[in-house]
Structure 1
């Protein structure tokens, strides 16, 4: 939205003051007025360790009002127009129902998958897979309608299975693009625990799209042998593991030079999928599957800014696996809200919707 139009519609909004209650970042914009539309997807049906990521979107919304809107390198960032769609109550109810079913099944697997309840659990993978496919189709429809309108579309999970539909929608809009994945896990397992759309299988699933020309994984520090073999056999995958990144810098390389190498593997159009557990666990202690190590906040910001400065276009993004603490702690959401605001603005600059200062 143009500055003059923002000033005309919201002449009394003060970006230095208190934001609007119940609105993402306290911004006053409607979905129609916004250049960026963010979809909350409270889905964690296949989580295999800690639960809570389904409450991530709501927690981030609450924390986002504490984010200062000023960006020292982006002109009038707040005037872009950003809005969060309402949480779908039917989707939330389905998550709760199928999460209970999948959780009982996973517990049975972990206890040895005994014959006593084998017949009872035999149908669970198919039931859960169908529910996840319906979720993916719903996300696809939501994403496509806003992409068709020329909006920049983002997604808030939920676990890392939630953005597949959004990536499919981008594949319907673009003949070729790369994916930059910031994550602690490779997520390349095939149908993990019998679930085709597991949070541990998202990368394997979107690699099935022929439009995905390259996958650049950054910060990875947890993967199985099956994933390791796939990484080294699929020429589209570029792994920049956390161990490799740290070793390079311990040997004296700068983060800037490492980022340049990472960006060299990406094409002109890039989709960003960011699992919060790619960061150091001190920044996201309640995420679903935390792993020691990881990137710090400014490292991620530096990499994303360099991506935009390189002239590449961010076509879409997701931020997933954020979970509030069981004691009501909002630290994870606080970090995520700030990362989301930066992500929104950098993506908008890459599309010419905002300008550098």
Structure 2
């Protein structure tokens, strides 16, 4: 158990402590944040592999009192240190992927270039490696009766966590906050692309009853057809639809309660930061105009707990690293709220 006898929550955060300045360790914390420094298949802006380290630094400025979920921090939140092997593998494969993307973008035939054939094979094998690594990390902590969540990295990273959650909890649903559907099959040839995470989840994890997407505003026709033919396994609340309903006089409370009603009893939140207004996340990998203010998303999440549903996990992904620490500042506050909610829902 975390010993807080001499801990002053109102004092200056000790930079030698763990996330949010807490004196947490892997052993004494109830909630473990898996650190996944991975961004191999990002197709626009890069930098999110180093977001966990940036967020750790920014988290020292987050005040611990949350009137909605007071004292949850006393359960202990622990962010894993960056695994340098995973990070270096991401850096290497990212360079490989960039060469491949540049090659195919010019219309070149893949079969004509043995080097590119080997490159796409190595990148896809790397995605499999990463999925297994995350799964093993999550399973280890579940076996220790810990709460487990994930901090990326790009949106390809949580598939292994979903598989571990399915083994532990059986059937559950995912609330996906995102500017994109992420329902593309092997986007750009990458089987475990950041743009394919929800396609892979539905294809590989039958325990995922449904995915309720909120904030989508950039998607392809194939993804639209997938949603229409999913027999409600994918339910999408497009950004345009939500905004227009409000313009016509509907309240966000009604919309939020409707969204929550589509979810099963057990819920995992997948929060791609680009679901927010880009002013809150300017250096995310693929920013799209539109999106939400942060307080609206916190209100939506609050409705999950108020409904009596159980939050069983979350992933927070696609936070960029820019010239200032604004991205990390916002990311740290999202992380703290989600940690507090996960702890409160499993108190």
**1:1-357 alignment runs, 5 A limit:** 6=2, 9-22=3-16, 23-113=18-108, 118-208=113-203, 209-235=205-231, 236-325=233-322, 327=323, 329-352=324-347
Deviation at 1:115, TM superposition (A): 7.6
SS of residue paired to 2:195: coil
What is the rounded CA distance, in whole Å, between the counterparts of 1:201 and 1:185 in structure 2? Answer: 10
Runs of 4+ that moved beyond 4 A: 114-117
SS at match of 2:292: coil
Paired with 2:115 and 2:346, the residues of 1 have a C-alpha distance of 51
In 1, the alpha carbon distance for the partners of 2:192 and 2:202 equals: 13
Provide the C-alpha distance between the structure 1 equivalents of 2:244 and 2:221, rounded to a whole number of angstroms.
Answer: 22
Q: Deviations over 1:274-308 (max 9, x none)?
A: 10000000000000000000011000000001111
3-state SS in 2 of match to 1:122: helix
Return the offset for 1:114. 5.6
What is the CA–CA distance in structure 1 between the aligned matches of 2:191 and 2:8, rounded to whole Å? 47
Equivalences, count: 344
CA deviation after TM superposition for structure 1 residue 10, in Å: 2.7
Q: 1:109 to 1:190 in 2, by over 3 A?
A: same
Q: Which runs of 5+ in 2 are unaligned?
A: none
Structure 1 residues 334 and 237: alpha-carbon distance in aligned structure 2, compared to 1, 3 A threshold: same
- Asked whether the equivalents of residues 324 and 330 of structure 1 are also in contact (C-alpha less than 8 Å), the reply is yes
1:115 & 1:69 partners in 2: Cα distance?
A: 52
- After superposition, give the CA deviation of every residue in 1:151-173 in whole Å (9 maximum; x if it has no partner): 11011100000111111110111
Query: Aligned with 2:142: secondary structure?
Result: helix
| In 1, Cα distance between equivalents of 2:111 and 2:346 | 57
When the two structures are superposed, what TM-score results if normalisation uses the length of structure 2? 0.97
Distance 1:28 1:194 in 2: 44
Does structure 2 conserve the Cα–Cα contact (< 8 Å) formed by 1:160 and 1:200?
yes
Q: TM-score with structure 1 length normalisation?
A: 0.94
Partner of 1:355: none
- CA deviation after TM superposition for structure 1 residue 175, in Å: 1.7
Unaligned runs of 5+ in 1: 353-357
